[in-house]
C-alpha cells in the first residue's frame, strides 16, 4: 500500500487514541482540601455588630471543631439615628450602652464535598457556649414634682448561654485563603433583665476572611 494510505491510517488511529488517553484524566476529580482554619469575622445583626475570630481544628469527614470569641456592641431595639440640616447625627431612644462577649465551641460540617468544585464550599455550622454581657445605662431625665431630675442608673452585668445555627458558603480566593458569608440565628436568654429585657436573640449575617494551614 502507498505511504499516503499509511499516513491517513496513522492520523485516524492517533485521532482515536488521543481522546481515549485523555479520558481518564478528565474523569479524575481533585481531592477536596481539608485543613485547620484561622478566621477573622465581622457580623451584622438586627441589634448591633460584632468583631471576632475563630480557630478551627480539622476532624474526619470534612468537619471542623472550633473555638470562637467575639465582641458585640448592641443597640436598643427602638434606637433611631437621624441627621439634621447640617449633616450632624442625632440619636433618640439611645438609653443603653450594652456589650456582649460570647465564647463558643462550634462544629462546622462541609456539604456536598465530592459533588461541587473545591472553590465553592457549602456548610452547616452550630455553636454553643457562654456569653458575658455588660450594660452601662445613660443618664435618664425624669419628671418629678414639676421639674426634671437627672438620675444615674446602675451598671448591669450578666452571664448566660447562647446557641447558634447557620448555613453558609466558603469561597476560595487563593490556594489557602477563603471568604465566607453565612446567615445565622443566635438564641440568647438571660435569667434577669439587662438593657430592659431578657431575650436578646437575633438574626445575623456573618462575614469571614480565613486561611487554611
Q: What is the per-residue pLDDT for 138?
A: 80
Per DSSP (E only), the strands in 8-97 are 37-45, 48-59, 63-74, 80-83, 89-92
Q: What is the per-residue pLDDT for 98?
A: 95
Give the chain's domains with CATH numbers.
36-212 (2.40.160.20)
* Beta carbons within 8 Å of 157's beta carbon, 6+ residues apart: 132, 133, 134, 135
Average pLDDT, the chain: 83
Integer-rounded Cα Rg, in Å, for the chain is 28
The residue with greater pLDDT, 133 or 29, is 133
Give the pLDDT mean for 138-153: 66
Supply φ then ψ for residue 155, to 5 degrees: -70, 150
Give the pLDDT mean for 15-24: 40
Give the pLDDT mean for 20-41: 68
Q: Give the burial string for 155-179 (b: 16+ CB within 10 Å, else e).
A: ebebebebebebebebebeeeeebe
Give the pLDDT mean for 58-79: 92
Q: Point out which residues pair with 74 in neighbouring strands.
A: 48, 98
Q: Point out which residues pair with 11 in neighbouring strands.
A: none
d(CA 1, CA 121): 59
The residue with greater pLDDT, 6 or 124, is 124
The residue with greater pLDDT, 89 or 206, is 206
The residue with greater pLDDT, 174 or 156, is 156
Least confident of 23-27, 105-109, 126-130, 187-191: 23-27
Give the pLDDT mean for 139-166: 80
Ranges of H-type helices in the chain: 3-27
Burial tier of 196 (Cβ tally within 10 Å: 0-12, 13-18, 19+): middle
Amino acid at each position: 500500500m502507498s505511504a499516503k494510505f499509511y499516513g491517513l491510517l496513522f492520523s485516524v488511529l492517533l485521532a482515536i487514541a488521543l481522546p481515549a488517553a485523555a479520558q481518564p484524566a478528565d474523569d479524575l476529580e481533585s481531592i477536596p482540601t481539608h485543613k485547620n482554619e484561622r478566621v477573622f469575622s465581622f457580623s451584622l445583626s438586627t441589634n448591633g455588630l460584632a468583631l471576632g475570630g475563630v480557630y478551627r481544628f480539622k476532624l474526619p469527614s470534612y468537619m471542623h471543631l472550633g473555638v470562637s470569641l467575639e465582641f458585640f456592641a448592641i443597640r436598643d431595639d427602638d434606637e433611631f439615628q437621624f441627621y439634621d440640616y447640617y449633616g450632624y447625627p442625632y440619636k433618640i431612644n439611645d438609653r443603653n450602652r450594652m456589650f456582649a462577649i460570647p465564647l463558643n465551641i462550634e462544629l462546622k460540617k462541609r456539604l456536598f464535598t465530592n459533588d461541587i468544585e473545591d472553590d465553592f464550599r457549602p456548610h452547616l455550622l452550630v455553636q454553643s457556649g457562654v456569653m458575658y454581657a455588660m450594660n452601662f445605662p445613660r443618664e435618664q431625665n425624669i419628671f418629678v414634682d414639676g421639674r426634671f431630675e437627672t438620675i444615674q442608673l446602675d451598671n448591669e452585668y450578666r452571664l448566660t448561654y447562647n446557641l447558634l445555627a447557620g448555613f453558609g458558603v466558603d469561597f476560595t480566593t487563593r490556594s489557602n485563603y477563603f471568604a465566607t458569608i453565612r446567615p445565622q440565628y443566635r438564641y440568647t436568654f438571660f435569667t434577669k433583665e439587662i438593657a430592659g429585657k431578657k431575650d436578646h436573640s437575633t438574626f445575623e449575617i456573618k462575614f469571614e476572611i480565613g486561611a487554611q494551614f
